[in-house]
């Protein structure tokens, strides 16, 4: 991102950076109006961006941004992700390929003012694949269960 922003194309309106293994939170420093003042659509989907609040703060500077893709990033797993993003970016028309309705804008109004809400609701999910050396207790169950 740093190299891309060193000499950004003047007047660029559409920027697709999906599936680029971008890591947060420093990447949010590069998605501002300082580098992309005319940006209308931005695809940051399916990277490794983690800091939703930093990202939204940076994206707020993009006054012309109407279409945003952040799906596929860990930050999109935050419970209030869609609401916070919609409330923070009032000019947004499409988020993650879903049109932002006037009802959503009304429903989520003021959510961005409560930053502590995100910290209170953070979750950590661990998925474990195959484990060796652990006894399969299903063979010890004398009564078969329905499949």
Boundaries of every domain in the chain: 14-117
Please say whether the beta carbons of 72 and 47 come within 8 A: yes
- Sheet of 98-99: strand order equals 14-16, 41-43, 67-69, 94-95, 98-99
More confident residue, 119 or 64: 64
Q: Which of 100, 55, 60 is nearest to 78 (CA)?
A: 55
Q: Which residues of 106-136 are buried (b: 16+ CB within 10 A; e: fewer)?
A: eebeebbeeeeebeeeeeeeeeeeeeeeeee
Residue position matching structure tokens 């279409």: 67
The pLDDT tens digits for 57-70 are: 999 999 999 999 99
Rounded average pLDDT over 83-93: 95
pLDDT at 26: 78
Banded pLDDT at 128 (limits 50, 70, 90):
confident
Q: With 70 as the cut, is the pLDDT of residue 122 above it?
A: no
Cis peptide before 25 (omega within 30 of 0): yes
Q: How far apart are CA 10 and CA 83, in angstroms?
A: 32
Which secondary structure element, helix H or strand E, spans residue 116, and what is its range?
A: helix 116-120
Banded pLDDT at 115 (limits 50, 70, 90):
low
Rounded average pLDDT over 8-37: 88
> Domain 14-117 is classified in which CATH homologous superfamily?
Ribonuclease Inhibitor (3.80.10.10)
């Amino acid at each position: 991102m740093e190299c891309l922003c060193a000499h950004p194309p003047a007047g660029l309106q559409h920027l697709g950076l999906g599936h680029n293994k971008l890591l947060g939170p420093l990447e949010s420093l590069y998605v501002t109006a300082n580098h992309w003042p005319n940006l209308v659509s931005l695809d940051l989907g399916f990277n490794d961006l983690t800091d939703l609040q930093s990202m939204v703060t940076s994206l707020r500077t993009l006054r012309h941004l109407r279409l945003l893709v952040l799906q596929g990033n860990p930050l999109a797993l935050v419970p209030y992700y869609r609401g916070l993003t919609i409330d923070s970016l009032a000019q947004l028309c499409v988020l993650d390929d879903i049109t932002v309705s006037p009802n959503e804008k009304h429903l989520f109004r003021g959510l961005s003012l409560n930053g502590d809400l995100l910290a209170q609701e953070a979750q950590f999910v661990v998925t474990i694949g195959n484990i060796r050396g652990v006894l399969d207790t299903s063979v010890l169950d004398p009564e078969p269960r329905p499949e």
